[in-house]
Amino acid sequence: MIVLGIESTAHTASVGIVEESSTILGLASDMYRPPSGGIHPREAANHHVDVLPRLVEEALREASLTASDLGAVSFAQGPGLGPCLRAGATVARMLALTWDRPLVPVNHCVAHVEIARVLSHLDDPMLLYASGGNTQVVAHFSGRYRVLGETLDIGIGNFLDKLWIALGGTFPGGPALEAAALRGSELLALPYTVHGMDVAFSGLLTAALAMAARGADRDDLAYSVETTAYAMLTEITERALAHRKMKDVVLGGGVACNERLRGMVRAMAEARGGTSFAPPKRLCVDNGAMIAWTGLLGLQSGGSVPVERTQVEPRQRTDLVTVPWR
Ligand code: AMP
Ligand code: MG
């Protein structure tokens, strides 16, 4: 069985092709970069409509396959930006109808867990999902992926992007902030906002902007923001591990590309006798391969649906979807 998956929940349009052994046969991605400021959903959706046909061709070419080799088409049903989700879902429906293949909707957050799980060979890890719009600690129990902790306001990546753009940089801010943080050395005191299993970033953003306005060194500020925000994420992940009596962690989401975050989570997991795993960067960020792989798992447990039942669900929660393959 070979499945083609389409990702379009936010700024990245991506098409992945995966086979049953989990080998990624093809992956083509194209990220919408706004000329200034943050993402405008409608403009990102227009971008996805423009690039998706080419990405389908590129992924098929890389895989040396044609449509007749594919067993199904899957797509990210939610959560995400409505216009962006609809762009991907429309292309997926069109391909499934044209090629006469089953259509499998996939939850985007579950797809981050499943790609990390299969690549790590860890059977039952905790997921720290740190992306632009989402920040969640997720574990599987009682038949579903459950959110144990999450951001109470904005996603960690949106926080980093907003801060970097306010400091005069461009989107995406995370990688540039990481480079600046490597040059910083002084740890400035910033709000550390952990509420039980949850975190919040708006106080940290306000305080960092106020410090910047008072002339704080940008590199020190980047270093301090990373230290504070990633310590918050590491703390709630550790608390979730302790509660669930689990040891291992996988990372997902664009912010999981960050070496500092990877290192802090690894140190925490190893201190508890466990291990941590972060997928290669192109599979940490939003990508079609994770949608294809999770679509394949869904299909194998009877998860294809008729076109009439493929509406997108911008607010679809991780713990609302069933995972019959576990
Ligand atoms: P995603 O929403 O999962 O596609 O991830 C996009 C987010 O990841 C954006 O907010 C980026 O700024 C952030 N990001 C990407 N690379 C890094 C990095 N090396 N360090 C921190 N954040 C990053
Ligand atoms: Mg994501």
Residue 250 · residue 117 · CB < 8 Å: yes
Which amino acid residue places its CA nearest to atom 5 of ligand 1?
A: 254
Residue 35 confidence (pLDDT): 80
Residue 1 confidence (pLDDT): 95
**Residue 301: DSSP 8-state:** T
Q: Is the CB of 172 under 6 A from ligand 1?
A: yes
Which amino acid residue places its CA nearest to atom 8 of ligand 1?
A: 254
Q: Give the span between the Cα atoms of 281 and 257, in whole angstroms.
A: 6
- What is the bridge-based pairing of β-strands 103-107 and 12-19? unpaired
pLDDT in tens, the chain (326 residues): 999 999 999 999 999 999 999 999 999 999 998 887 678 999 999 999 999 999 999 999 999 999 999 999 999 999 999 999 999 999 999 999 999 999 999 999 999 999 999 999 999 999 999 999 899 999 999 999 999 999 999 999 999 999 999 999 988 899 999 999 999 999 999 999 999 999 999 999 999 999 999 999 999 999 999 999 999 999 999 999 999 999 999 999 999 999 999 999 999 999 999 999 999 999 999 999 999 999 999 999 998 999 999 999 999 999 999 999 99
Residue 38 confidence (pLDDT): 72
Pocket-testing residue among 160, 261, 264, ligand 1, by greatest number of atoms within 8 A of Cβ: 160
Strand order in the sheet with 72-78: 24-31, 12-19, 2-7, 72-78, 103-107
Q: Is the CB of 81 under 6 A from ligand 1?
A: no
Residue 43 identity (one-letter amino acid): E
Q: Relative to the CA of 156, which ligand 1 atom is closest?
A: 10
Residue 21 confidence (pLDDT): 96
Q: Give the span between the Cα atoms of 323 and 326, in whole angstroms.
A: 6
Q: Is the CB of 76 under 6 A from ligand 1?
A: no
What is the Cβ-side half-sphere exposure of residue 121, based on CA atoms within 13 angstroms? 1
CATH 3.30.420.40 corresponds to the domain 2-112+285-320: yes
Q: Is the CB of 2 under 6 A from ligand 1?
A: no
- For the CA of 171, the nearest ligand: 1
Pocket-testing residue among 81, 84, 255, 257, ligand 1, by greatest number of atoms within 8 A of Cβ: 255
Which CATH superfamily includes the segment(s) 123-274?
Answer: ATPase, nucleotide binding domain (3.30.420.40)
Check for a shared fold between 2-112+285-320 and 123-274: yes
Residue 249 confidence (pLDDT): 98
Domain boundaries, the chain: 2-112+285-320, 123-274
Residue 209 confidence (pLDDT): 97
Structure-block tokens of residue 229: 């925000």
Residue 314 confidence (pLDDT): 97
Global pTM value: 0.93
Residue 96 confidence (pLDDT): 98
Distances (CA, A) of 158 to 13, 40, 210: 18, 13, 18
Residue 258 · residue 225 · CB < 8 Å: no
